[in-house]
Amino acid sequence: MPELILIVDDNPTNLKLASEVLEFEGFKVLRAVDAEGAQLLLAQSTPDLILLDIALPGMDGLTLTRKLKSNSQFRHVPIIALTAFAMKGDDQRAFAAGCDGYITKPIDTRELPRRVRNLLQAATHKEETRLTPE
């Protein structure tokens, strides 16, 4: 059963690139162009990981992150922040909002699948630890 990845990016080209790179790697991808669209999709299914652009029209990515991390249904879903601002403070803000990872655009098509996979593994491990108390 392929993992389900939700990708949120307002730029259609970038959304397409990230989605197709991951689809070629065998993931199942849900696409949204803004936070509002993402929330509609999340109402129907819970993804295994979310790739979230920070700078979105309307509700921004960090607000959505905080919202999801305070929801028990999504709290365990890893979120990777995507941003064009390669500034040191951005990753700290992203982590502070609850993001689990941070990728600077433009995305490295070779690096992206590896990062996604790593985070999924870490999350599964955490999940297992959580489900099987010592």
Partner 1 sequence: MDADFEHELWSQTPDAILTISPAGLVLHWNSAAERLFGYAAAEAIGQRLTELIVPPDGLVAELRIQVDAAAQNQAAYECVRRRKDGSLLHINVSSKGICQADGTLRYVLSTNRDVTHLKVLRDAKMVEAKFRDLLESTPDAIVMVNVTGRIVLVNTQAERVFGYPRSAMLGAPVEMLLPVRFRGTHNAHRANFFAQPRTRTMGAGLELHGLRSNGEEFPVEISLSPLLTDEGTMVMSAIRNITDRKKAEQKFRGLLESAPDAMVIVAQDGRIALVNSQTERLFGYRREELLGQSVEMLVPERFRSRHSVHRDGFFSRPRPRSMGAEMELYACRKDASEFPVEISLSPLETEDGTLVMSAIRDITNRRKAEQKFKDLLEAAPDAMVIVNAGGDIVLINTQTERLFGYPRQELLGRPLETLVPERYRAKHPHHRASFFLQPRARSMGAGLELYGLRRDGTEFPVEISLSPLETENGLFVSSAIRDATERKRYEQVLQDANRLKSEFLANMSHELRTPLNGIIGFSEFLIDEKPGAINAKQKEYLGDILTSGKHLLQLINDVLDLSKVEAGKMELFPEEFTVAEAVAEVYSVVSSMAMKKRIVVRHNIATAIDQVLLDRQKFIQVLYNLLSNAVKFTNDGGRVFVDIELRDQGEHHEQQLRLLVRDTGIGIRTEDLGKLFVEFQQLDSSTARRYQGTGLGLALTKKIIEFQGGEIAVTSEFGSGSTFEVLLPLATNSTTRIDATPDHA
Residues near partner 1 (CB under 8 A) are 11, 13-14, 17-18, 20-21, 24, 55, 84-86, 88-89, 105-110
Least Å distance between CB 24 and partner 1?
Answer: 5
Least Å distance between CB 28 and partner 1?
Answer: 17
Taking the least distance from each CB to partner 1, the nearer of 77 and 80 is 80
Taking the least distance from each CB to partner 1, the nearer of 84 and 120 is 84
Taking the least distance from each CB to partner 1, the nearer of 108 and 127 is 108
Strands (E), the chain: 4-8, 28-32, 49-53, 79-83, 101-104
Measured distance CA(2)–CA(27) in Å, rounded: 5
Least Å distance between CB 60 and partner 1?
Answer: 14
Least Å distance between CB 106 and partner 1?
Answer: 4
Q: How far is CA 15 from the centre of its chain?
A: 12
H/E stretch holding 66: helix 61-69
What does the DSSP assignment read for 89-102?
Answer: HHHHHHHHHT-SEE
Q: Which two tokens stand for residue 20?
A: 């197709």
Taking the least distance from each CB to partner 1, the nearer of 20 and 127 is 20
